[in-house]
Amino acid sequence: MIEFSPEHSGRVLAFGGTLAMGVLIGAILATMYFRPGLIAIFAQAKAMVFLSLGVGLLTWGIIGLCTGVPHDQPFDWITLLRTPAETIGWGAGLITAGTVALVLSFTGLGRR
């Protein structure tokens, strides 16, 4: 019999979540192969997510830089955003990625 410790159950949960996301992404890619019109819809949805995350990070970084309060992390596992300047950089990068994805989805580049 296998005994589950808290550390082991966290790894099992992470593996299950990763496996479920992989199956979901594979199903989406297979669907888009057979229905090319979904590629533009998926790209536009991805662009909206990138744009909204970018605006949120940019706002958080600018407010943190202007107020001068310590840059507290919302979660312990996020180690990328240590300073307000890094948060502003990530926000600008996500806004750029969202804008490029949105423009390419509307111009039809890559469609056959």
73 contact partners, CB below 8 Å, separation of at least 6: 79, 81
Q: Are 112 and 36 in contact (CB under 8 A)?
A: yes
User: How far is CA 64 from its chain centroid?
Assistant: 22
Lowest-pLDDT choice from 5-14, 42-51, 97-106? 5-14
Q: Enter the DSSP assignment of 4.
A: P
Give pLDDT, residue 104: 83
Over the stretch 17-61, which tens digit does the pLDDT of each residue have? 888 988 988 887 788 778 877 777 888 888 999 999 999 999 999
pTM over 0.75, yes/no: no
55 contact partners, CB below 8 Å, separation of at least 6: 91, 95
Task: Give 79's Cβ-side CA count (13 Å radius).
Answer: 1
